[in-house]
Amino acid sequence: MPKETLRSKKQRIKKAVALLRRYRPQADCALYHKNPVQLLVATVLSAQCTDKRVNQVTKTLFKKYPTAKAFSQANLKELEKEIYSTGFFRSKAQNIKTTCEKIQKEFKGKVPNRLEDLLTLPGVGRKTAHVILGTAFQISSGVVVDTHVRRLSNRLNFTNSEDPEKIEKDLCDLLPRKDWIYFSHALILHGREVCKARVPRCKTCFLEEFCPKKGVV
């Protein structure tokens, strides 16, 4: 595949955003939550787990633990049992409890709305921080790069990297900041429904006309 210019990529990603907004105007975070604390917990649970499973677990979990204070006071063994089906339950339970303890002590029980502060919380990396800032606070701190965004960004040749931080930088360089939050939500939804990992549905894809289909056989 010949090397594409930055200008060409920007033109293609602009078209992609326009089409995504036309066909997926309601694209948003799929994790059930009513406040920033719940979104943080749900995002931690979503690591190596489907959003559908997380939503099944949090439906009852958030009734028992509605606040950061409640999670900080949780019995660790009980919390492990309650989130068991999301996988990696021991580390997730420990991170949730410790994070909420820190939120209580250092941030007066409220999830911070600065990237630098969020990254000090146990179990919170750039992806989780961007989800929280973008969805809970409408702050465009970066592009969320999950497995769908990574796959589609490569197929569309918006990046040549598999490293999430490099992909994020490439996408941020191509997109205006106003599109950062929406683009990740829309690409995740498109990846789930159309541009699947094993058998992408190229014939029904509205991005097909200008997609290089890099890596698709």
CATH number reported for the structural domain that contains residue 56 in this entry: 1.10.340.30
Structure tokens at 2: 């010949």
Domain annotation covers residue 85: yes
Query: What mean pLDDT is reported for the chain?
Result: 95
pLDDT at 2 over 90: no
- pLDDT score for 217: 73
> Are the beta carbons of 144 and 127 closer than 8 angstroms?
yes
Q: Is 97 a catalytic residue?
A: no
Structure tokens at 206: 């509205």
Domain annotation covers residue 20: yes
Domain annotation covers residue 215: no
108/32 Cα distance (integer angstroms): 24
Domain annotation covers residue 62: yes
Domain annotation covers residue 1: no
Tell me which long-range contacts 30-36 makes (C-beta under 8 A, separation of at least 24). 30/55, 30/188, 30/189, 31/55, 31/58, 31/131, 32/58, 32/59, 32/62, 33/58, 33/62, 33/136, 34/62, 35/136, 36/110, 36/111, 36/113, 36/132, 36/136, 36/137
pLDDT at 3 over 90: no
- Co-location of 88 and 46 in the same domain: yes
- pLDDT score for 159: 96
- Co-location of 121 and 74 in the same domain: yes
- Which of 136, 161, 194 delimits the end of a domain? 136
- Co-location of 43 and 120 in the same domain: yes
pLDDT at 215 over 90: no
> Are the beta carbons of 186 and 20 closer than 8 angstroms?
yes
For residues 67-82, average pLDDT? 97
The total number of structural domains that make up the chain: 2
Measuring CA to CA, which residue among 143, 198, 128, 125 is closest to residue 13? 143
- Which of 120, 136, 152 delimits the end of a domain? 136
Confidence tier at 26 by pLDDT (50, 70, 90): very high
Report CA-CA distances (Å) from 23 to 19, 20, 147, 205. 6, 5, 21, 10
- % of the chain with per-residue pLDDT over 70: 99
DSSP 3-state assignment of 216? Answer: coil
- pLDDT score for 56: 97
Q: Annotated catalytic residue: which of 92, 97, 127, 170? A: 127
- Co-location of 165 and 120 in the same domain: no
Q: Is 28 a catalytic residue?
A: no
Measuring CA to CA, which residue among 35, 32, 40, 37 is closest to residue 58? 32
- Co-location of 123 and 166 in the same domain: no
> Are the beta carbons of 52 and 31 closer than 8 angstroms?
no
- Domain containing 175 equals 6-27+144-210
- CATH code, 176: 1.10.1670.10
213/217 Cα distance (integer angstroms): 8
- Which of 136, 158, 180 delimits the end of a domain? 136
What pTM does this model have?
A: 0.91
- pLDDT score for 1: 58
- Co-location of 95 and 70 in the same domain: yes
- Co-location of 46 and 124 in the same domain: yes
46/32 Cα distance (integer angstroms): 11
- Co-location of 68 and 19 in the same domain: no
Q: Annotated catalytic residue: which of 28, 146, 169, 214? A: 146
Confidence tier at 43 by pLDDT (50, 70, 90): very high
> Are the beta carbons of 146 and 188 closer than 8 angstroms?
yes
